[in-house]
Amino acid sequence: MLKVYKVSLKGYASDLDIGASKAKQILWFLTNVLFFKNPFIVISSLKGYLLKAFGAKVGKGLVMKPSVNIKYPWKLELGDYCWIGEKVWIDNLAPVIIGNNVCISQGAMLLCGNHDFTKSTFDLLVKPITLEDGVWIGAKSMVCPGVLCATHSILTVQSVATRNLSAYTIYQGNPALAVKKRIVVY
C-alpha cells in the first residue's frame, strides 16, 4: 500500500532565478505600486518608459490602463499596439512574451507560477506564457503556466486556458474548450 505523505511548508525555499538584484526588485516593487497599481495613473507612455527602464521590451503604441500589476518587467516582452486593460495582472515569475496587436481585457490574469503538489516540499514550478499576434484574452479570464495562445486565438470572458489555444479559435469555460473558429472577414 502506498504511504501517504504530507505537505510541509516549513522548510520551503524557492530556487527561482528572479533575474534582478535585490535593490532592483525593491525599486520595481515600489514603482509597480506607485505607477502601475495606482488607479490614478492613466498615461500609457510613462508606463512603457518605466517598463523599458526595468528591462522589458516594449513595442510601439502601447495602451495600458490603471491598476495593472506586473511581477517582473525584465521578464516581459510586449509587441506593437498592445492593449493592457484595467486591473490586468501579469504574474510573470517566468517570461511572458506578447506579440503585436494583442488585447488583454480588464481583470484578466497571466499566471506563470505553479507548485509541485506531488512533493511534500511543494516546490515552485514556473513556466512561460506566450500570446502570439492578434490574440484576445477576455475580461477576467486566466491563462495558466506554460500556455501558448496561438495567433488570433480568443479566450472568452472569465474562462481559464489550461492548455495551448489553437490559432484563430475561440475558447470558453473552465477548463476552456474550443467552441468555434474565429474568422476575420476583412
Residue 53 binding a copy of itself, by CB under 8 A: no
Q: Which residue has the cell 486566466?
A: 142
Cell numbers standing for residue 34: 506607485
Q: Which of 70, 78, 109, 165 binds a copy of itself (CB under 8 A)?
A: 109
Q: Given the rule CB under 8 A, which of 13-21, 47-55, 119-127 is the region that contacts a copy of itself?
A: 119-127
Tell me whether residue 57 or residue 115 sits nearer to a copy of itself (CB atom): 115
Task: Check residue 164 and report its DSSP letter.
Answer: P
Buried b or exposed e, range 141-180, using 16+ CB within 10 angstroms: bbbbbbbbbbbbbbbbeebbbeeebbeebbbbeeebeeee
37 and 50 Cβ atoms separated by less than 8 Å: no
Residue 171 binding a copy of itself, by CB under 8 A: no
Largest CA distance in the chain: 62
Contact positions toward a copy of itself, by CB under 8 A?
2, 4-10, 12, 29, 33, 37, 39-40, 42, 61, 80-83, 89, 91, 101, 103, 106-107, 109, 111, 115, 117-120, 122, 133-134, 136, 139-140, 142, 144, 151-152, 154, 157-160, 162, 168, 170, 172-175, 182-186
